Amino acid sequence: MAFGNVGTGIQQPPAQLIGTANAITQKYIMPSLGDAVMQPSPVFWAMTRKGVQVQGGEIVYGIVNQEETTGGAYWGDQLLNTQVIDSIAPATQVWRFYYEAIAIPVTDAILNRGRGGVLSLIESKYEVACSSFLMKLSRALWHTSPQNTSIDIDDISSWVLSTTNTIAGIDRSVAANAFWKAAAVTNNGVSPLLPANAESAYQSAVWGYDEPDLLVIDRTKYAGFKSQFTQLTRFTGEQDQEAVQAGFRYHFLFNNAVVVPDAFVPSGTAWILNTKYLYPLFHEDDYFQVDPFVKPSNQRVVVSNMYLAWQLICQSPRMNAPISNV
């Protein structure tokens, strides 16, 4: 007889009496789940690291779209310019709704009870659902399939890379709305990303002392970009005093921006972002709401759903810059 057990089965070696051992030997199950699929998104973390931004009602925010030219030097009884200038434009976005389903066969839940339930099936499914939900949100930031539909959020590419789209109700293809565009695309043209091109793009998004705080790139291109700086050695009191470290032990900074490799970032483009102006907004009344389990009338399955209403807003697109052909 062949025994092909994988989960709680005894394998050969070390057991020779495999069938006998599988029948009488107690198994030890690790009381935790191992993750071999999910990927964390440092960009999603960076955009929410200062706390969750919540809001109820519609998403509308005012944008200063022109300088008011009334004013300047005057003398004596000179007539002053009292022209009325409509200098604020409304940016309007709609909420986007996401869900994650949790479905559990009742028979499986029954078999998981008692001593057989080392790990709670329901708790484990909730953990997997939360991680899966985060994956979907991380893909939505970049309009990556399958989170690339017309009802997904306004993504980073739409805000920073596109120049002729309508976003937040403002048409960027209209010359008068040039204020609503990010900095012009810097063409790198070679691989890896050159520091000179990164500097040019970085400075295009700097306004006074307000500088970008993230330089985002895919993991493969990150290695090539970082390798151009590893000849610089940083010494700190916490470094190993017996061996020189050629790399960067802590976060790699480019000017004041943390250089972040993210598995969700589309290959070929680098992104210089200022997360003070580009960040997720969550609806306070639909923030990871969870339904109670319900059972369909014709199936012995219980189903719950987790919900989120959110949107990616940008109060100043010019504070961000893309780099192409990285």
pTM: 0.86
Per-residue pLDDT of the chain (326 residues; tens, 9 = 90+): 555 677 788 887 787 888 888 888 888 877 788 888 888 899 999 999 877 888 888 899 999 999 898 999 999 999 999 999 999 999 999 999 999 999 999 998 888 887 666 678 888 999 999 999 999 999 999 999 999 999 999 999 999 999 999 999 999 999 999 999 999 999 998 889 999 999 999 999 999 999 999 999 998 999 899 888 876 555 444 444 554 445 555 678 899 999 999 999 998 999 999 999 999 999 999 999 999 999 998 999 999 999 999 999 999 999 999 999 99
Please tell me the distance from the alpha carbon of residue 287 to that of residue 18, in angstroms, as a whole number.
Answer: 50
Token pair recorded at residue 91: 């940016």
Please tell me the distance from the alpha carbon of residue 324 to that of residue 182, in angstroms, as a whole number.
Answer: 14
pLDDT at 2: 57
CA distances (Å), origin 135, targets 41, 145, 257 = 8, 11, 25
Q: How many CB atoms lie within 10 A of CB 27?
A: 12
Q: What confidence tens digit (pLDDT) does each residue in 216-259 have?
A: 999 899 989 988 887 655 544 444 455 444 555 567 889 999 99
Q: Are 170 and 177 in contact (CB under 8 A)?
A: yes
Please tell me the distance from the alpha carbon of residue 279 to that of residue 319, in angstroms, as a whole number.
Answer: 12
- Give me the sign of the Cα torsion angle 278, 184, 267, 260: negative
Q: Are 274 and 319 in contact (CB under 8 A)?
A: yes
φ, ψ (nearest 5 deg) of residue 29: -105, 125
pLDDT at 239: 45
Sequence-distant (6+) residues with CB within 8 A of 129 are 100, 101, 102, 306
The total number of residues written for the chain in this structure = 326
Q: What confidence tens digit (pLDDT) does each residue in 22-72 have?
A: 888 888 877 788 888 888 899 999 999 877 888 888 899 999 999 898 999
First to last CA, the chain: 57
CA distances (Å), origin 147, targets 97, 143, 280, 311 = 12, 6, 16, 13
Q: Which amino acid is at 171?
A: D
φ/ψ region of 244 (left if φ > 0, alpha if ψ in -120 to 50, else beta) reads beta
Q: How many CB atoms lie within 10 A of CB 137?
A: 18
CA distances (Å), origin 252, targets 41, 89, 229, 275 = 17, 38, 9, 17
Q: Which amino acid is at 295?
A: K
Sequence-distant (6+) residues with CB within 8 A of 5 are 11, 22
Average pLDDT, the chain: 88
Please tell me the distance from the alpha carbon of residue 105 to that of residue 111, in angstroms, as a whole number.
Answer: 10
- Give me the sign of the Cα torsion angle 279, 136, 218, 323: negative
Q: Count CA within 13 A, CB hemisphere, residue 322.
A: 20
Please tell me the distance from the alpha carbon of residue 154 to that of residue 315, in angstroms, as a whole number.
Answer: 13
